[in-house]
Structure formats: C-alpha cells, structure tokens
C-alpha cells in the first residue's frame, strides 16, 4: 500500500493544514518516510459534520447489513495484515510476529462484534404490553430498545498500535452499536494507522454506506483533540493513555454546554498478592512468571503486573532470587517513543527517591531509546507511608513489597487506588485468607485473577477491562470485550406506537426473531 500521509475525512484525502511529521523508528532513533499530515479545527469540524450527517442512516441499518459491514472490515484487515505488522514494527520496535498476532486479534474483534450485532441481544429489547382494563388506571403499551448514542471520537493508544488503535476495540464496538466514528490517530505509529484506516474506509465504500461513517484525523498538539471533545456533534469520547491526559479530556467534556461521557482507560499497577502457602510451595515459579509478564511489550502494557506483595516468610528468598535472575538476564529493548522512555527513567528515579531499593537491573542499553529492566524492593511500612510508590511506572520495572504479616498485607491492599486487575496466588490452605481479602480487592478492581497473571487478556463476553478510578473514569463499563458496546448505547421507550411505526425489532410478531423480555419474562 502506498502511504500518502493524508488525513482520511470521509471519502476525502485531506493534505496537511497544520504542518507535517515523520514516524520515528525507536530501534534506530531514525525518522521514516513519508510525511504525515497534521490537521486542525476545521478538519475536525468537517469530519464531525460528515459523521452527524451519516448517523441517522447508519444507526438505522439492519442488523444483517451492519454485521456484514463489520465482517468486510475484518476481511480487509486480514488482507493487509502482513504489511500492517511490518510497518507497525518499524514504528514501534515491537517484534513483527507479535504484531501479526495483534493484527489477527483486531480482525477477530470485528468478527466477534458482527456476531453480537447479528444476534441483537445488545438492543436489550423489553416489552410491557398495554393493559387497557387495568384499574384504577389503564396502562399503555411500552417497548424499549437501546440505540447508538451518536457520533463517537476515539483516541488511539500508543502502546498497542493495532488492537488499541484505529482498528481497535473502541472503533469496533462503536461501529457495532450503530455510532459513526472519528479516530484521532496516535502519532507514535502514523503509517500503521493509515493502513488500518484505509481498510475501514474501503469497507464503508464497499458496503454502500455514507462516507461520514468513518474518518481519521491527526494533530501535532492538543488542539485537534480538544476540538474533538468540544465539538457539539460529538456525543461520546474514548481514550486510552495516561491519567493526566485522560482526566484533562474528561474535565473538558464536563464543561461543555451539553456534557458528554468520556470513557477512559488510564493507569494501573495490577497488584499481585502471593498468599503464604503458595509462597512457600512455589515462590520461585511465581516470581519468574511475574517478571516474564512484566517485561511483555517492554513493560508498556496496561495490564503489566507492576507490584508484587508477599509476606516475609517461607519461600520469600526463593521468590526474590528468581525475580532478580529473570530481570538481570533481560535484554534492553527499544521503548515506543522518546517521551515514554523519558517518563520511564523519571519513574525509576521517583521510586528510588521515595524509598525503594534497586535490587536488580537488566542488560545495558545500547540504543538511545532502549528500556533497561529494573527490580526494586520496599518494605510494607515504607510502601504505606509513601503514596508515590503505588503509582504506575510505564516500562519494564517492577516493585517487590515485603510485608511483615497478613495484617500488613491487608493494609497494603486497602491503600491501593482503583486497578484494572488484581491477582491472587494461593493454595488450598490459603482459601480462608483469600476469602477475607476478596472483598477488599473487589472494591478496587474490575478483574481478579487466581494462579495466573492478568496479561494476556481474552476478548469475550465475560471480560472486564476497567475498574474504579483511576483505572478508568467509569467503573460500570469495560473497554475490552463484547459488553464494551454498552458504552455507546442509550435506551429509548416507544409508548403507544402503532405496530407499523415501531422499530422492526419491537414489532408484535418479532419478525427478526430476536430475544425479548415481555413483562419481565
């Protein structure tokens, strides 16, 4: 595919209006051709107007038509998967085989959402038939379905250049809901973003849909993102990234004349608790596995296990030794961007300045943006005294928290902020302790894992990728999995409608054969 670097606004190829950029290869710290366009407020306005014009048509497409459209996107992504993975590798320094898996995952998500749409359960159809003879007051016929909330702005993430980017789960779930989508592509991987955007746009054209169903914009600073959040035609926003960035968008959206939801996935240290009997039985195995998962994506994963909590007792020294060995043997690898690399080094300095001891480092970095792995250690008392120790360090570093007893372990658990996930390693003899710890963790996370690690994550109906603040801005929703579609839906009741005027899914004879609740049954 010939990369043009243009913005893709509806069916139009839009050249730069606010300057250009080149992609950076973090492995070599060299720029890569071609130039990629930066747009501005006028480009956002054009995309938003097209999205709004397309919304009424697209949101009322049949379930069959919409699911076929999502499957066309999946087919198009499969067709460019090798080219996409190769370009993403140049722009991220991540292994090409890993990115081929990510491309396959992106296509799979679109097919999964096509199945969700086809089955129609997301509409949550409910019927309360009329009761004209009810006393003392008759009841009119009431019928409810969920509809799309409106045009959605999706902010692409830096760390997963495909599955959390232009063709990621946010775009797939929003399009599945019937929303039109404008993606703000992340500048860390502009070529990979363009390849994905063209695959989606081609599916829009081949499906005979209005051009405004999908657009992709890009900007050099905050202005284009702020314009998306501010635009009165945008009705919801998704964001994956830092707490600072996510909360800036969230607060801005609440200051609009018509506040809109901003669904953020921000920061998490994904704490791992090793209960005493598990520590004694397999401390070394758990420690090795923890560091292995910590180093995935050079530690640049939202589900990276970053903090491990264990009681200083039988098995602790074996745990610690295994972690030290795995970290020491780890090669330095390029991080995604200069900004992320710099923030990682600052994060390590912050941990040490607040009392954590550096106990192991990986192989020496040979390139400018290489991330060198690190293991730090702190006792429970110090951890509880310094809030900064519980904050995320985005990169290949982990913190071992040595607590003196179960009471201190509970205190550490209660001190944690909201998390995307938490992990328990336990044996049968630890079950009573686990039962007491479980309510503490349930209040602080959206997913609890036993005898495994939170990463990787399945994309399924039972998946939750969210949690109490600051893991996300609204713990009622997930940004991964089939139920992520619920972010972009709102209920509408049709009262007293003649059957011919009702949406097809709510008509009396149920012509689509969809699951419906009637009088709560």
Instruction: Give the active site residues.
Output: 265, 302
Bridge partners, 440 (sequence order): none
Q: Kindly state the helix (H) or strand (E) to which residue 176 belongs, with its residue range.
A: helix 169-177
List the Cα angle 114/146/484 in 5-degree steps. 50
Which residue has tokens 């608790």? 273
Torsion sign over Cα 146, 150, 155, 156: positive
Helical ranges in 4-136 per DSSP H = 41-59, 63-79, 81-92, 96-119
Which tokens in the block code for residue 299? Answer: 């530690």
Q: Is 446 helix (H, G, I), strand (E, B) or coil?
A: coil
| CA–CA gap between residue 341 and residue 396 (Å, rounded) | 10
Which of 281, 277, 247, 289 is CA-nearest to residue 264?
247
138-151 burial code (b ≥16 CB/10 A, e <16): eeebebbbbbbbbb
Which of 425, 478, 451 is CA-nearest to residue 315?
425
Which tokens in the block code for residue 374? Answer: 């690190």
| CA–CA gap between residue 216 and residue 9 (Å, rounded) | 6
DSSP string of 337-378, one letter each residue = -HHHHHHHHHHHHHHHHTTPEEEEE-SPP-STTEEPPEEEEE
Q: Kindly state the helix (H) or strand (E) to which residue 379 belongs, with its residue range.
A: strand 374-379
Query: What letter does residue 216 receive in the DSSP assignment?
Result: E
| CA–CA gap between residue 307 and residue 288 (Å, rounded) | 14
Q: Is the peptide bond before 34 cis (omega within 30 degrees of 0)?
A: yes
| 8 Å CB contact between 389 and 378 | yes
| CA–CA gap between residue 138 and residue 273 (Å, rounded) | 58
Kindly report the backbone phi and psi dihedral angles of residue 389, in degrees, each rounded to the nearest multiple of 5, phi listed first.
-70, -20
């Amino acid at each position: 595919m010939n990369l043009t670097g243009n913005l893709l606004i509806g069916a139009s190829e839009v050249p730069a209006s606010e300057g250009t950029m080149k992609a950076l290869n973090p492995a070599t710290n060299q720029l890569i051709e071609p130039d990629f366009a930066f747009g501005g407020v006028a480009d956002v306005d054009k995309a938003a107007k097209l999205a709004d014009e397309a919304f009424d048509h697209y949101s009322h497409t049949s379930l069959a038509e919409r699911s076929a459209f999502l499957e066309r996107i999946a087919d198009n992504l499969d067709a460019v998967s090798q080219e996409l993975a190769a370009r993403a590798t140049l722009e991220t320094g991540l292994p090409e085989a890993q990115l081929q898996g990510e491309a396959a995952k992106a296509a799979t998500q679109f097919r999964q959402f096509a199945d969700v749409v086809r089955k129609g359960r997301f509409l949550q159809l409910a019927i309360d038939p009329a009761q004209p003879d009810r006393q003392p007051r008759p009841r009119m016929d009431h019928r409810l379905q969920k509809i799309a909330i409106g045009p959605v702005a999706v902010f692409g993430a830096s760390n997963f250049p495909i599955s959390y980017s232009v063709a990621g789960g946010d775009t797939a779930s929003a399009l599945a809901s019937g929303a039109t989508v404008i993606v703000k592509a992340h500048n860390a991987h502009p070529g990979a973003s363009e390849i994905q955007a063209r695959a989606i746009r081609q599916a829009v054209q081949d499906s005979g849909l209005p051009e405004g169903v999908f657009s992709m914009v890009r900007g050099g600073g905050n202005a284009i993102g702020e314009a998306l959040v501010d635009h009165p035609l945008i009705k919801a926003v998704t964001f994956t990234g830092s707490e600072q960035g996510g909360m800036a968008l969230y607060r801005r959206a609440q200051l609009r004349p018509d506040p809109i939801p901003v669904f953020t996935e921000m920061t998490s240290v994904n704490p791992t608790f090793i209960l005493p009997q598990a520590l004694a039985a397999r401390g070394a195995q758990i420690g090795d596995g923890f560091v292995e998962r910590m180093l995935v994506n050079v530690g640049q994963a939202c589900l990276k296990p970053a903090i491990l909590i264990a009681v200083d007792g039988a098995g602790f020294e074996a745990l610690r030794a295994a972690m030290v060995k795995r970290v020491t043997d780890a090669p330095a690898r390029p991080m995604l961007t200069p900004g992320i690399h710099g923030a990682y080094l600052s994060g390590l300095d912050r941990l040490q300045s607040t009392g954590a001891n550096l106990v192991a480092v990986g192989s020496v970095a040979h390139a400018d943006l290489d991330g060198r792995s690190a293991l730090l250690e702190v006792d429970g008392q110090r951890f509880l005294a310094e809030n900064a120790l519980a904050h995320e360090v985005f990169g290949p570093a982990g913190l071992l928290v040595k607590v003196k007893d179960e009471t201190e372990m509970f205190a550490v658990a209660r001190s944690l902020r909201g998390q995307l996930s938490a992990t328990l390693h336990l044996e049968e003899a630890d079950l009573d302790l686990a039962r007491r710890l479980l309510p503490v963790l349930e209040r602080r996370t959206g997913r609890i894992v036993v005898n495994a690690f939170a990463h990787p994550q399945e994309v399924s109906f039972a998946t939750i990728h969210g949690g109490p603040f600051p893991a996300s801005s609204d713990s009622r929703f997930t940004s991964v999995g089939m139920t992520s579609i619920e972010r972009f839906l709102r209920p509408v009741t049709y009262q007293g409608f003649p059957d011919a005027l009702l949406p097809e899914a709510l008509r009396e004879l149920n012509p689509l054969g969809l699951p419906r609740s009637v009088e709560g049954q």
